[in-house]
Amino acid sequence: MKGKFIVFEGIDGSGKTTQLKLLGDKLKGRGLPVLYTREPGGTRVGEAIREILLNPAYSDLVPRAEALLYAAARAQHVTQVIVPALAAGTIVLCDRFLDSSLAYQGFGRGIDISLLERINEPATDGLVPDMTIILEFCAEDGMDRINKSGRPIDRIERETRAFYVKVGAGYLALAGRDAGRYSVIDANRPVEQVHKDVMTAAEGVLHEIITGNSRA
C-alpha cells in the first residue's frame, strides 16, 4: 500500500476533529493528497449505521449489538474508502478506528477485548494504522465542551463521567501495548501547541512521502 493511514482517537470533546483538519490543511498546503474520513460513517451505509448508533431513541441497544454495528460500519468503510485511497497513494486521516471500539465498547462497556478483536477481524481485514494519535483529555472538560456546544447530545455522549474516565484510561492502556504505533498527546493545552505535537508525530510516518514529494 502506497499511502499512509493516520487515525485520531480520544474521548468526545478532546478536539480530534479540529486537530485532524489542522494537520490535513498543512499537508494539503504542501501539495500532498489527503482524505478526511470518520467512523462510524465515511460511506453511505456507514452513515446510515451511524444514525442508529448515535440516536438517543435507541437507548435499549445492547453492548454486543452496539459493538457489531460499529464493526459493520468499519467493514464497509475499510473496503469502500480506506483501502482504495491508500492504494492510490493518499494520506488517509481518519477520525476514530478500531481503538474506539476497544476503548468505548471494551474498557467503557466492559466487553472482553479479545472478543472485540475477533469481531473486528472481518471489519479491518488486517488493516492496521501507520500511526494512531491519541489526544489525552480530561473527561470533565470533554463533557463540558459537549454540553456547551449547543448541538443535540447523542446516545453515547449521554454517558456518565465514570464511563469517560474508563474510556480515557483504556486508550492509555492500548497505547502501552504497542508504543511504536501510538503517539499520546496532551490535549489539555491550547490548540496550536497540540497541533505542533500532532505535526511532529505525523511527520515521523510521513517522512518518505514528504521527501518524495519535494523531490518530484
Measured distance CA(145)–CA(212) in Å, rounded = 40
Give the separation between CA 166 and CA 176, rounded to whole angstroms. Answer: 15
Q: Is there a contact between 95 and 20 (Cβ–Cβ < 8 Å)? A: yes
Q: How far is the CB of 154 from ligand TYD (least distance, A)?
A: 6
Phi, psi of 135 (to 5 degrees): -90, 110
User: Distance between CA 134 and CA 186 in Å, rounded?
Assistant: 9
Cβ-based neighbour number of residue 13 at 10 Å = 23
* Distance of closest approach, residue 127 Cβ to ligand TYD, in angstroms: 14
Among residues 42, 46, 70, 78, which is the contact residue for ligand TYD, using CB under 6 A? 70
Which residue is nearest to ligand TYD, using beta carbons? 104
Q: Residue 9, interface with ligand TYD (CB under 6 A)? A: no
Considering only the stretches 33-41, 82-90, 183-191, 206-214, report the one whose residues sit in contact with ligand TYD under the rule CB under 6 A. Answer: 33-41
**Of 112 and 208, which CB lies nearer to ligand TYD in the complex structure?**
112
Q: Is 124 in the site for ligand TYD (CB under 6 A)?
A: no
* Residue 104 is a binding residue for ligand TYD (CB under 6 A): yes
For residues 20 and 86, which CB has a smaller minimum distance to ligand TYD in the complex?
20
Nearest 5°: the CA angle 174, 106, 201 is 30
Q: How far is the CB of 108 from ligand TYD (least distance, A)?
A: 7
DSSP 6: E
User: Residue 76 or 206: which CB sits closer to ligand TYD?
Assistant: 76
Whether 96 contacts 134, CB under 8 Å: no
Q: Does 40 bind ligand TYD (CB under 6 A)?
A: yes
